[in-house]
Amino acid sequence: MREAGYTGTLKATARSWLKWGVPLTEPVRGCIVVLKRGNSSWQGHVGFFVEEREHIIKLLGGNQGDKVSEQWYPKSKVLGYRWPKVERR
């Protein structure tokens, strides 16, 4: 995010992205997607939205098979879609 000129969450937890930017009701290519993972309320995964099909979404993310890659996830795991705030000067 820093390379693109945005401040991230400054936290290491994936779910911290649920409070970043502005929420979207539907995904937009390139938006941040936060997924639930595991059984704990703090666990999650985050990536950039690439595309969707009926019940699945494809994310570009890191630490997916120990590398940066595109991978499909069930939509049922989505906690939220986020987009950067546009700040007016």
Q: Tens place of pLDDT for every residue, the chain, 89 residues?
A: 888 888 999 998 999 999 999 999 999 999 999 999 988 888 899 999 999 999 999 999 988 888 999 999 999 999 999 999 876 55
How many other C-beta atoms can be found within 10 angstroms of the C-beta atom of residue 48? 15
Q: What pLDDT does residue 30 have? A: 96
Q: What pLDDT does residue 42 have? A: 83
Q: What pLDDT does residue 43 have? A: 87
Q: What pLDDT does residue 2 have? A: 85
> Residue 78 and residue 57: Cα distance in Å, rounded?
9
The amino acid occupying position 34 is V
Q: Are strands 32-36 and 78-83 parallel, antiparallel or unpaired?
A: antiparallel
Domain 14-83, what architecture?
Answer: Alpha-Beta Complex (3.90)
Q: What pLDDT does residue 88 have? A: 52
> Residue 38 and residue 18: Cα distance in Å, rounded?
17
Q: What pLDDT does residue 71 have? A: 95
Name which of 14, 69, 10 is nearest 37 in CA terms.
14
> Residue 40 and residue 32: Cα distance in Å, rounded?
21
